[in-house]
């Protein structure tokens, strides 16, 4: 971790533009909401080419609403960490505009960084420092005055209070991750990024983390998390964005997305091949597969009625017999593939 002298940020108090400048003084736990009209994060036409020449981001446009929980979904290598790292000032951007609460991450970097907290994907906390010192120091880095009461609250929320005098290197992996979260919250960020927060963590930490995320949101903090677990997005997010190969493929309300995702396919392997789907089965919108040896029925798992019973009844009535059947639920991978294919058409 780079240790900027804490004094360097002493002059970084935002010269608040009207409506966006937030003072934490006098606020309950310091999480005062900003004007919802200003997006918490606004990214426009952002590209990133790594030195290798690899284009990790390819014209990303994304707007995160103030106070929402936004899940950024994408397979490995999609560009999630790159995007987050740029917003957080860790990776230099290419072309494009990135703003946090209306402030430019280049021009107004002191302001934007002090408003952002990042829980990184990788663990790299092996120091001799104590939990308390590390978390308090982290607050100082952003030019915030010491606030032991806030640090205590954060440590208690993360069940780290008993460990406050322990050296980081003596902690378990799960505890270290809790420390990373505590560090990210030490300076009372307005926008919190969690990069794959639950990859490989135990159930208890996962539960605590989501409880904390919800309580932060209740205090007006905007949360952006990356994940490739669809269940996680389903459980937590207000909106979901899908990124693939450095492009945002879709941004949608969770409910709408889950409706799209919750599909199953029933494949019936026929005793006799068909040349076409018979007229009397038209309403089921079946597809022929395997050179007419299989019929595929796609249905929403959300609906109360799947239509499977009627389908089987109608098949029998049409004299179509099958010797085997299988069902498949669309996986996130399928959904990515579908989304990308739709995009390319
Ligand atoms: N420092 C780097 N130099 C070159 N390529 C990189 C670097 N960091 C990431 N990449 C590449 O950029 C792509 C996006 O990576 P990343 O943003 O980490 O994706 P994600 O977090 O979605 O898995 C990947 O193909 C990765 O290999
Ligand atoms: Mg990543």
Break the chain into its structural domains and give their ranges. Answer: 29-258, 263-329
Find out whether 183 and 133 touch, Cβ atoms under 8 Å. Answer: no
Interatomic CA distance for residues 335 and 333, integer angstroms: 5
From ligand 1's centre to the CA of 58, what distance in Å? 13
pLDDT value at 320 more than 50: yes
Report the candidate in 263, 292, 264 with the shortest Cα–Cα distance to residue 278. 292
pLDDT value at 34 more than 60: no
Q: Which ligand is nearest to the CA of 56?
A: 1
Q: Which ligand is nearest to the CA of 121?
A: 2
Q: Which two tokens stand for residue 158?
A: 């993360």
pLDDT value at 258 more than 70: no
Q: What pLDDT is stored for residue 318 in this prediction?
A: 93
Q: What pLDDT is stored for residue 142 in this prediction?
A: 86
Q: Among the listed ranges 19-28, 274-283, 303-312, which one has the minimum average pLDDT value? A: 19-28
Interatomic CA distance for residues 110 and 28, integer angstroms: 24
Fold of 29-258: Rossmann fold (3.40.50)
From ligand 1's centre to the CA of 220, what distance in Å? 31
Per-residue pLDDT averaged across 195-209, rounded?
Answer: 85
pLDDT value at 337 more than 80: no
From ligand 1's centre to the CA of 49, what distance in Å? 10
Decide whether any atom of ligand 1 lies within 6 Å of the 86 Cβ. Answer: no
Q: What pLDDT is stored for residue 235 in this prediction?
A: 78
Q: H helices of the chain, where?
A: 80-87, 109-115, 131-141, 148-157, 173-185, 203-218, 230-236, 254-261, 308-317, 332-344
Decide whether any atom of ligand 1 lies within 6 Å of the 82 Cβ. Answer: yes
CATH C-level class of 263-329: alpha beta
Decide whether any atom of ligand 1 lies within 6 Å of the 78 Cβ. Answer: yes
pLDDT top residue among 222 and 302: 222
Q: Which ligand is nearest to the CA of 52?
A: 1
Report the candidate in 218, 224, 145 with the shortest Cα–Cα distance to residue 191. 224
The mean predicted confidence, pLDDT, of the chain is: 84
* Nearest CA residue ID for atom 4, ligand 1: 50
Give tens-digit pLDDT for 296-316: 998 876 666 678 888 999 999
Give tens-digit pLDDT for 80-134: 999 999 999 999 999 999 999 999 999 999 999 999 999 988 767 668 899 999 9
Q: Which ligand is nearest to the CA of 90?
A: 1
From ligand 1's centre to the CA of 238, what distance in Å? 26
* Nearest CA residue ID for atom 18, ligand 1: 81
What is the full DSSP assignment across 18-29?
TTT----TT-SS
Query: Does the CA dihedral 141-163-217-255 come out positive or negative?
Result: positive
Residues in the chain, overall count? 345
Q: Is 323 helix (H, G, I), strand (E, B) or coil?
A: strand
pLDDT value at 60 more than 70: yes
Decide whether any atom of ligand 1 lies within 6 Å of the 120 Cβ. Answer: no
Q: What pLDDT is stored for residue 336 in this prediction?
A: 60
Q: What pLDDT is stored for residue 45 in this prediction?
A: 97
From ligand 1's centre to the CA of 184, what distance in Å? 22
Query: Does the CA dihedral 79-85-90-91 come out positive or negative?
Result: positive
Decide whether any atom of ligand 1 lies within 6 Å of the 79 Cβ. Answer: yes
Determine the residue of 74, 79, 247, 332 to mutate for testing ligand 1's pocket, defined as the one with the most ligand atoms within 8 A of the Cβ atom.
Answer: 79
Per-residue pLDDT averaged across 136-144, rounded?
Answer: 89
Q: Is 191 helix (H, G, I), strand (E, B) or coil?
A: strand
Q: What pLDDT is stored for residue 54 in this prediction?
A: 95
Interatomic CA distance for residues 328 and 198, integer angstroms: 26
Q: Is 142 helix (H, G, I), strand (E, B) or coil?
A: coil
What is the Cα Rg of the chain in Å? 25
* Nearest CA residue ID for atom 12, ligand 1: 56
Q: What pLDDT is stored for residue 184 in this prediction?
A: 94
Query: Whole-model pTM?
Result: 0.74
Q: Is 7 helix (H, G, I), strand (E, B) or coil?
A: helix
């Amino acid at each position: 971790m780079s240790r900027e002298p804490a004094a360097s940020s002493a002059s970084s108090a935002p010269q608040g533009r009207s409506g966006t400048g937030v003072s934490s003084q006098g606020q309950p736990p310091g999480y005062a909401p900003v004007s919802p009209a200003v997006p918490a994060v606004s990214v426009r036409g952002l590209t990133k080419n790594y030195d290798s020449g690899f284009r990790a981001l390819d014209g990303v446009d994304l707007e995160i609403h103030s106070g929402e929980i936004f899940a950024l979904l994408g397979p490995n290598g999609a560009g999630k960490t790159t995007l987050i790292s740029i917003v957080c000032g860790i990776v230099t951007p290419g072309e494009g505009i990135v703003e946090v609460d209306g402030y430019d991450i280049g021009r107004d970097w002191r302001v934007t960084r002090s408003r952002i907290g990042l829980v990184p994907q990788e663990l790299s906390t092996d120091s001799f420092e104590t939990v308390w010192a590390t978390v308090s120091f982290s607050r100082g880095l952003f030019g915030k005055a010491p606030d032991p009461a806030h640090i205590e609250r954060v440590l208690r929320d993360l069940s780290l209070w008993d460990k406050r005098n322990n050296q980081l290197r003596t902690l378990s992996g799960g505890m270290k991750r809790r420390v990373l979260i505590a560090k990210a919250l030490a300076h009372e960020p307005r926008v919190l990024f969690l990069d794959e927060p639950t990859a490989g963590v135990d159930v208890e930490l996962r539960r605590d983390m989501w409880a904390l995320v919800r309580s932060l949101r209740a205090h007006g903090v905007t949360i952006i998390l990356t994940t490739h677990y669809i269940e996680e997005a389903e459980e937590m997010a207000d909106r979901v964005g899908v990124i693939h190969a450095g492009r945002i493929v879709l941004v949608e309300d969770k409910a709408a997305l889950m409706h799209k995702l919750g599909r199953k396919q029933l494949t019936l392997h026929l005793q006799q091949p068909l040349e076409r789907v018979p007229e009397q089965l038209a309403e089921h919108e079946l597809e022929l597969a395997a050179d007419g040896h299989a019929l595929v029925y796609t249905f929403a798992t959300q609906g109360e009625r799947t239509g499977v019973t009627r389908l089987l009844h109608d098949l029998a009535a049409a004299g179509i017999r099958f010797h085997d059947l299988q069902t498949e639920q669309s996986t996130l991978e399928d959904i990515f593939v579908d989304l990308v294919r739709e995009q390319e058409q």
